């Protein structure tokens, strides 16, 4: 592009996003990030960005509330403190992204990929995360899953230390190899609906007595 991004009109910015929507080259990803920030600052809204390629983009602190980012690629992106409140992020890719302190309150993140991502202190309250993958992600340090629908999500081998899980739906959730030590508000009822095994590390207030390779008794230790 011959002209600086700062000189483009809103209409030209939209045309740029449309023209290079699927281009994941570093230069265009950088310019798309700048375009998104400018459109939000000037107009408070974004066009539909379904399946947009933004690997490695820096959108730290940007407000993407209500945005349509379904199928978007944020692999290895810098998204610290980014707002995704009630956004449509179905099938998006956040693999190895840095999302520390991001806010996904009420967002639809079904079938999205968070493998290996930094999710420290992220707010996932009331999200719909059916079938999402969090394998190997760092979700500790106070990540919030209050009333989240995590049915069928994969948290295998992830760190959930210090996560808050009050009211979360864990039906069919894969917690094998997950580290839930110091996680808050975990109940035996939640665990019975999830998939755990002997490698799942549980909070000190939960006692598991294995009766076979797949069956166990769960006891909540009262203070």
Closest CA to 24 of 59, 57, 53, 58: 53
All CATH 2.160.20.80 domain ranges in the chain, comma separated:
54-223
36-76, pLDDT tens digit by residue? 998 888 777 777 888 999 999 999 999 999 999 999 999 99
- Rg of the chain over Cα atoms, rounded to whole angstroms, equals 19
Distance CA 38, CA 168 (A): 36
Distance CA 185, CA 25 (A): 44
Q: Which CATH class is domain 54-223?
A: mainly beta
195-204, pLDDT tens digit by residue? 999 999 999 9
Taking the whole predicted model, whether its pTM rises above 0.85 is answered as yes
Closest CA to 203 of 152, 176, 163, 173: 163
8 A C-beta contact, residue 160 and residue 139: yes
C-alpha distance from residue 198 to each of 150, 202, 205 (Å)? 21, 10, 16
């Amino acid at each position: 592009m011959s002209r600086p991004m700062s000189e483009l009109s809103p209409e030209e910015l939209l045309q740029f996003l449309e023209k290079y929507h699927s281009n994941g080259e570093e230069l265009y990803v950088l310019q798309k990030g700048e375009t998104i920030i400018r459109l939000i600052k000037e107009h408070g809204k974004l066009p539909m960005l379904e399946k947009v390629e933004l690997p490695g983009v820096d959108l730290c602190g940007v407000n993407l509330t209500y945005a349509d980012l379904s199928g978007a690629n944020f692999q290895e992106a810098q998204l610290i403190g980014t707002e995704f409140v009630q956004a449509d992020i179905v099938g998006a890719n956040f693999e190895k992204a840095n999302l520390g302190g991001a806010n996904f309150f009420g967002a639809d993140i079904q079938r999205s990929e968070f493998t290996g991502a930094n999710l420290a202190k992220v707010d996932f309250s009331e999200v719909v995360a059916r079938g999402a993958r969090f394998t190997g992600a760092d979700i500790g340090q106070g990540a919030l899953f209050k009333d989240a629908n995590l049915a069928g999500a994969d948290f295998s081998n992830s760190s959930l230390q210090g996560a808050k899980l009050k009211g979360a739906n864990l039906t069919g959730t894969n917690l094998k190899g997950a580290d839930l030590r110091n996680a808050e508000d975990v109940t035996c009822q939640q665990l019975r609906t999830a998939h755990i095994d002997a490698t799942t590390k549980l909070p000190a207030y939960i006692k598991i007595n294995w009766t076979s390779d797949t069956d166990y008794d769960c006891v909540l230790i009262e203070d």
